[in-house]
Chain A
């Protein structure tokens, strides 16, 4: 029997073909990277969580429609060395030159380490406190002054509450969260200084059962307006609706989940910072390392008012919102005491939203029942 190509030869050829096949994706991908900006977006949770990650993913989806941009995404990446591996493979394999690591814990040390290793790649982190001189120039952070919307939430909650007790369910006592709790409380107390906010800290970003327990405990304590700062407010909003109290949303619009009790909500609009970063990267302009914005700049927005919002609340909140849109309203101004009685902002001092000290907030204002 003739055997022109021996078995060994076949295996050899197959092996070569296999190796070529394995290498093949790199060719076209790097070619693609040359004429298209590849953007990598990394989420800490699932993209459709009715919350934090969904808000980021909505912006990423909008970016896919921009000409000359392709987006690679990875969800549920823990805040460990895993995120370094994800960043590495996005850069090496997909040719990404602009990364959006969107979770707080990615910043230090993971993103900073990768930024040193890949000085030509831009890293735009969500929420970190980028400091000139301390952090590399190819890194930066973007964030929105969502405390403005939380303040508006507080005003509406203050008008709505009959028991004068509000509830706040928070994941972790980090500065951004504390700032939201404080803004919410200050907003409510601008309506009635007798109002207090009961705070429950669950300990992690997504603990649905514990969040439901916290919501039930707070309702049992007489709280009649609830809000939260967790990754997915779905459970809190639904539990509030089931127990028949009002609720303010967070991250995204949850009004569909609580048609009766949804008052208003604080929502992100990440399309604005994403677009700026991408346009700068395409134009080759140096990146904006410290990017912040509030209602005025279009980084955040408030959900439309729900049915339960009374006329007075609407009017009051709209007036303050109009001032915020002009950039004239100051939320954190002295004299401001924390809930242990210590003065944290001296009389006569007014912190504008851009004040970096506000991003290091480590206290709870007067009226919050809880501890950092």
Chain B
């Protein structure tokens, strides 16, 4: 392998953005749908971990990683529906239920996942999109997982659907004004439950990416808060699916800065570089927030806005 030197940093950031962003992307798209309908599901971290576990377990048991992805989605769907149904009860706070679900999901995943820590499950294949380059580093950075591409497609489709389809408009109306939705004859609780379920499905798929592709094995320390960060990312992306995609790339790339700088010999201040994703978030939050107005694009029915 040839020397790369300083070029290693941008390549690592690019590779990191492609590799690390997918779980962020799926969880934030799922949360975007949920929040557009007027609910917050903080439990996506638990769903992510549960998805990672069930995806790995199913892939190991059936030998087919794609079945694992589906199973992870199904597990996420069930947990998402659970959140949605519980929140339909009168005077239930969605944030509190979300925190409960987060603990429940991770706990359940750890409990059921014990037997799957040791075995090696078949993982998802990668698509080599870097064949045009002679550099093995670029080739490695551009090894793209199909889920990443599906995620991009989903982001585009969602942002189109929210604007142009009947279904998208109903979700937005339910999220912006439940009175208007009721007056139009739509069942608000049912819509929200469905949206939370779909959000859970996507978060579960995001979890399966962690265990089935990158880093590619199930262990209890697998998620270092990706699910929680993705929820924050939705606010950061102003409830816009395309922005969710950019934000996910940014987070993925920022996470790669710390290790990449150290491997080219920039060795001081690594704790600071490791904090890069959080610093980036804080910086943008401060730059875009104003005490004089509410966040642009925030669904009106979100409990944090009411």
Interface residues of A (CB under 8 A from B): 45-46, 48-50, 76, 163, 167, 198-203, 206-214, 216-224, 231-232, 234-235, 238-239, 242-243, 256-257, 369-371
**Complex Cα spacing A207 to B225, Å:** 10
- The closest CB in chain B to the CB of A76 belongs to B220
- The closest CB in chain A to the CB of B16 belongs to A213
Say yes or no: B263 contacts A167, CB within 8 Å.
yes
Query: Which residues of chain A come closer than 8 Å to B137, judged between CB atoms?
Result: 220
Query: Which residues of chain A come closer than 8 Å to B110, judged between CB atoms?
Result: 46
**Complex Cα spacing A243 to B265, Å:** 21
- The closest CB in chain A to the CB of B116 belongs to A48
Query: Which residues of chain B come closer than 8 Å to A209, judged between CB atoms?
Result: 20, 210, 214-215, 224, 226, 255
Say yes or no: B267 contacts A371, CB within 8 Å.
yes
Question: A interface, by DSSP: helix, strand, loop or mixed?
Answer: mixed
Say yes or no: B8 contacts A243, CB within 8 Å.
no
Query: Which residues of chain A come closer than 8 Å to B15, judged between CB atoms?
Result: 216, 220
Say yes or no: B8 contacts A208, CB within 8 Å.
no
Query: Which residues of chain B come closer than 8 Å to A256, judged between CB atoms?
Result: 120
**Complex Cα spacing A216 to B1, Å:** 13
Given contacts A203-B274, A213-B12, A213-B256, contact A221 B217 (CB under 8 A): no
- The closest CB in chain A to the CB of B257 belongs to A213
Say yes or no: B217 contacts A238, CB within 8 Å.
yes
Partner of B267, one of A48, A49, A199, A206: A199
In the complex, how many angstroms separate the beta carbon of B224 from the nearest chain A beta carbon?
6
Judged by a CB distance under 8 angstroms, whether B114 is at the interface is: yes
Say yes or no: A220 contacts B4, CB within 8 Å.
yes
**Complex Cα spacing A242 to B125, Å:** 12
Listed residue (A217, A232, A239, A243) with the most chain B CB atoms within 10 angstroms of its CB:
A217
Q: Would you mind naming 21 contact pairs between A and B with Cβ atoms under 8 Å apart?
A: A203-B271, A209-B210, A212-B19, A212-B216, A214-B263, A216-B12, A216-B15, A216-B140, A217-B259, A217-B263, A219-B1, A220-B15, A220-B140, A221-B8, A222-B3, A224-B1, A231-B221, A232-B219, A235-B216, A239-B215, A370-B262
Partner of A48, one of B118, B216, B217, B256: B118
B residues 189-242 touching A (CB-CB < 8 Å): 210, 214-217, 219-222, 224, 226
Say yes or no: A217 contacts B267, CB within 8 Å.
no
Partner of B117, one of A46, A223, A243: A46
Say yes or no: B20 contacts A213, CB within 8 Å.
yes
Judged by a CB distance under 8 angstroms, whether B264 is at the interface is: yes
Say yes or no: B120 contacts A257, CB within 8 Å.
yes
In the complex, how many angstroms separate the beta carbon of A250 from the nearest chain B beta carbon?
15
- The closest CB in chain A to the CB of B117 belongs to A48
Given contacts A201-B270, A208-B219, contact A220 B258 (CB under 8 A): no
Given contacts A213-B12, A216-B140, contact A221 B274 (CB under 8 A): no
Say yes or no: B219 contacts A46, CB within 8 Å.
yes
Q: A200-B263, A201-B270, A371-B268 are in contact. List 5 more A-B contacts (CB 8 A).
A: A46-B219, A46-B220, A219-B1, A232-B219, A235-B217
In the complex, how many angstroms separate the beta carbon of B221 from the nearest chain A beta carbon?
4
Query: Which residues of chain B come closer than 8 Å to A206, judged between CB atoms?
Result: 219, 221
